[in-house]
Every structure is written in structure tokens, then in C-alpha cells.
């Protein structure tokens, strides 16, 4: 059985960032205000290790800034501490996030010395106008060059994308997705743009120069991108910012498509599309339908506030029941109609039908 993955997060807000992107207030996004000292890094790792099961897969992950842009001695200090735990077998991997324009041969050779396993690049968009209007300070060509270099050194690669940035639209977001597919990352994250306090984007929003996506628009665009990535064997490991003390309405979010379970909304919408196609193809109406899933996925299939269940019952005049069957993997769903059984792989269905 595959070990459960746990991440020990170490946030380094704004360290190494040469630009102030219009959307960015890293202290709010990460909830991090504390100075990043050697003591803080060790204490954070030790505190997490005390609570994690010993048979788990554990990563130390440096998030929040542009790690490879910070001074070399600071990089080496942080990485050296993480590598101590790696060498002792207390953790299994080291991960970091950085900018595409802060990748070169010397940087990657240094990361290899400290046995970094995973690099995530904040790409955000592959559209030049969007990058310029968002004040990213890099181009799409910088992304391509960085990815090619990283591949030469055999790191696991993740790319982070934002939708709904200034100048963005559905077509540009999908074009970004297709260009990301060409780069063949191991995984991606999708973040709908939020208006955060004390950012230039907040000023744009209040002056009527920026209009964030609605929640429904963000779900639909994220879903289309999700399907593109799944069809091309690229894992989507997160959709939407994680809720923190500050990342919430009535806190530091001014506007935008925030939801504490954005990923579930997107996956639930994908599953509804799958079930709609099954119902249409099999002409399922006026009958009883039972859907089996494991405990982790059952609420996603039913939908937020039972949306999927109620929608299907009304549209097809069916009576729907949902039953937990934990022998099923997250990817598997069993649909039972009048004693006829359909076994569905969500991933295979997406690849073959969407």
C-alpha cells in the first residue's frame, strides 16, 4: 500500500522576489510574519515530526517566495538543515518553489548537492500580455528555458498557474493549459486570482480597473483546465488557495472566487458531467440509481449542498442513493441501475469521452 504523504511547510514570504506582482501579498497568503531563522526552521520540522506517523512519506517544503533568488548562504543554511533530516531518514524529500527566471545551471547544481527532489515554478500564465499586466517580470520563454534546464537535472517538476489575472480570459487560460501540457510537468496547481488587501490589484479593483472571476466562472475554467491535464496524464494536486486565518472573507480577501473547498467544487462538477453523459448514453430515466464510492469521494459525488443528487433526480426523474464502498479507489465509481452494474474509472472516462 502506498504511504500517505505529509508536507512540513516552511514559508519564506517575499524572500528572493525581485518584483511585486499585482496580486501578491505573501504575508497574507502564507499567514507568515515570523523571521526565517535557523531556529525557526529546526523547530518547525521537529514540531511536525512529533505529530506525524513514522511510516508516512514526509516532505520538507519551502513555499511562499522565490527560494533560488535568496542569497546563496541563506539557501544553503535552510537546505542544509533539511538535508540533515533527510540523511537521518526522518524525512523523504525536499521541495521548493521559485520563479522561472531564477533557474540556471549553477543554481540547479547547488540544489542537487542538497538532494532537493521537487521544484515548483510559479508560471501563472503563458500569455505575454497577462504576464506584463500582472507585473510578473518574466516571459513565457523564461518558463520554457527553466523547464528544459530542470529536466536535464532530473528533478520532479510542478508548475503553478493562475486564472483570472489582469488581461486574462477563458481562451488565454486554455492556451496556457495546452502550452503547459507541451512542457510535460509531473503535476500542476491551479489558483483562481483573489483580490488580497494591500496589493496593487486591490487598488485596481477599487478603481474599477479589475473585475475578478465569479465563483462559477472560476469553477468552469478550472474544470476545463483540469480535464486537459488529466487527459494528458498530468496530476492536478491543488485547485484554489488553502484557507488560513487571513485567507478568508472578512479577513484579507477583498474580492474574488474564494471557496474553502474549491478543488472539491471542480471535481464535483467534473463528476456531474460524467454522470450526465452516462444517463444520456444509457437513457436512464424514471428509475432507481445507486452509486457506490469510497468514503473520501462520496461527498464530492453527491455535490455541495447535494447539488449533483438533486439536479440528476429532477432532470431524469430518478431516485438516487449513495453507498460507501471503501474497497473502491478514489478513481472508481460503481453505478447500479435496475440491478445492472457499471464500473467507471473517472480518469479513463475523462480521457475517452471529453
**pLDDT one-digit tens code per residue, 68-120:** 988 899 999 999 999 999 999 999 999 999 999 999 999 999 999 999 999 99
Query: Tell me, what's the pLDDT at 239?
Result: 97
If one counts every other C-beta atom within 10 angstroms of the C-beta of residue 217, the result is 15
**pLDDT (tens digit, 9 = 90+) per residue, 209-232?**
999 999 999 999 999 999 999 999
- Residue 242's pLDDT band (cuts 50, 70, 90): confident
- What's the Cα-to-Cα distance from 33 to each of 10, 15, 119, 198, 340, rounded to whole Å? 12, 12, 24, 15, 57
Residue-level pLDDT at 35:
67
At residue 28, the pLDDT reads 45
Residue-wise pLDDT tens digits, 307-327: 999 999 999 999 999 999 999
Q: Is pLDDT of 16 > 70?
A: no
Contact status, residue 155 vs residue 93, Cβ threshold 8 Å: no
Q: Which residues contact 195 (CB under 8 A, 6 or more apart)?
A: 23, 201, 202, 205, 210, 212, 253, 254, 255, 256
CB 81 within 8 A of CB 43: no
Give the Cα separation of 37 and 200 in Å (integer).
29
Reference 46, options 77, 84, 75, 13; nearest CA is 84
Answer yes or no: same fold for 5-259 and 268-353: no
CATH topology of domain 268-353: Glutaredoxin (3.40.30)
Q: The domain 5-259 is classified under which CATH number: 1.10.3720.10, 3.20.20.70, 3.30.365.10, 3.40.50.450? A: 3.20.20.70
Mean per-residue pLDDT, 146-150: 97
- Quote the percentage of the chain above a pLDDT of 90: 82
Per-domain residue ranges of the chain: 5-259, 268-353
Q: What's the pLDDT score for residue 167?
A: 97
> Between 54 and 258, where is the model more confident?
258
pLDDT at 137 over 60: yes
Confidence of residue 34 (pLDDT cuts 50, 70, 90): low
Q: pLDDT at residue 352 above 80?
A: yes
Distance CA 108, CA 150 (A): 7
d(CA 94, CA 85): 10
178 neighbors 228 (Cβ within 8 angstroms):
yes
In whole numbers, what is the pLDDT of the chain averaged over residues?
Answer: 92
Lowest mean pLDDT, pick from 91-95, 125-129, 202-206, 246-250: 246-250
pLDDT at residue 31 greater than cutoff 50: no
pLDDT-derived band at 11, boundaries 50, 70, 90: confident
Torsion angle (degrees, nearest 10) of CA 197, 189, 274, 216: 10
pLDDT tens, 249-301? 677 899 999 999 999 999 999 999 999 999 999 999 999 999 999 999 999 99
CB atoms within 10 A of CB 321: 12
CB 80 within 8 A of CB 27: no
Q: What single string gives the DSSP state of each residue in 117-170?
A: -EEEEEEE-S-HHHHHHTT----HHHHHHHHHHHHHTT-EEEEEEEES-TT--H
Amino acid at each position: 500500500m502506498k504511504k500517505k504523504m505529509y508536507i512540513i511547510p516552511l514559508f519564506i514570504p517575499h524572500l528572493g522576489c525581485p518584483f511585486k506582482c499585482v496580486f501578491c501579498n505573501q504575508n497574507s497568503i502564507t499567514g507568515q510574519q515570523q523571521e526565517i531563522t535557523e531556529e525557526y526552521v529546526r523547530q518547525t520540522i521537529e514540531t511536525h515530526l512529533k505529530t506525524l506517523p513514522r511510516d508516512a512519506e514526509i516532505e520538507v517544503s519551502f513555499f511562499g517566495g522565490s527560494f533560488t533568488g535568496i542569497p546563496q548562504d541563506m539557501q544553503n543554511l535552510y537546505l542544509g538543515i533539511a538535508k540533515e533530516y533527510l540523511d537521518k531518514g526522518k524525512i523523504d524529500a525536499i521541495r521548493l518553489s521559485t520563479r522561472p527566471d531564477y533557474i540556471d545551471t549553477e543554481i540547479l547544481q547547488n540544489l542537487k548537492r542538497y538532494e532537493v527532489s521537487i521544484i515548483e515554478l510559479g508560471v501563472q500564465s503563458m500569455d505575454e500580455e497577462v504576464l506584463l499586466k500582472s507585473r510578473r517580470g518574466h516571459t513565457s520563454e523564461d518558463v520554457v528555458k527553466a523547464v528544459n534546464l530542470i529536466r536535464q537535472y532530473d528533478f520532479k517538476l510542478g508548475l503553478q498557474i493562475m486564472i483570472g489575472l489582469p488581461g486574462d480570459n477563458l481562451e488565454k487560460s486554455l492556451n496556457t493549459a495546452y502550452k503547459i501540457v507541451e512542457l510535460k510537468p509531473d503535476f500542476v496547481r491551479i489558483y483562481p486570482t483573489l483580490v488580497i488587501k494591500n496589493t496593487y490589484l486591490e487598488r485596481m479593483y477599487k478603481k474599477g480597473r479589475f473585475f475578478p472571476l465569479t465563483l462559477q466562472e472560476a469553477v468552469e475554467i478550472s474544470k476545463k483546465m483540469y480535464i486537459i491535464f488529466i487527459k494528458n496524464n498530468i496530476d492536478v494536486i491543488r485547485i484554489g488557495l488553502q484557507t488560513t486565518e487571513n485567507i478568508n472573507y472578512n479577513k484579507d480577501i477583498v474580492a474574488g472566487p474564494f471557496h474553502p473547498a474549491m478543488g472539491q467544487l471542480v471535481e464535483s462538477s467534473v463528476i456531474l458531467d460524467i454522470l450526465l453523459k452516462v444517463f444520456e448514453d444509457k437513457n436512464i430515466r424514471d428509475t432507481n440509481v445507486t452509486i457506490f464510492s469510497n468514503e473520501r469521494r462520496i461527498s464530492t459525488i453527491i455535490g455541495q449542498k447535494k447539488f449533483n443528487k438533486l439536479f440528476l433526480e429532477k432532470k431524469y426523474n430518478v431516485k438516487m442513493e449513495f453507498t460507501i464502498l471503501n474497497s473502491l479507489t478514489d478513481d472508481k465509481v460503481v453505478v447500479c441501475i435496475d440491478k445492472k452494474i457499471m464500473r467507471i474509472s473517472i480518469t479513463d472516462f475523462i480521457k475517452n469521452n471529453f
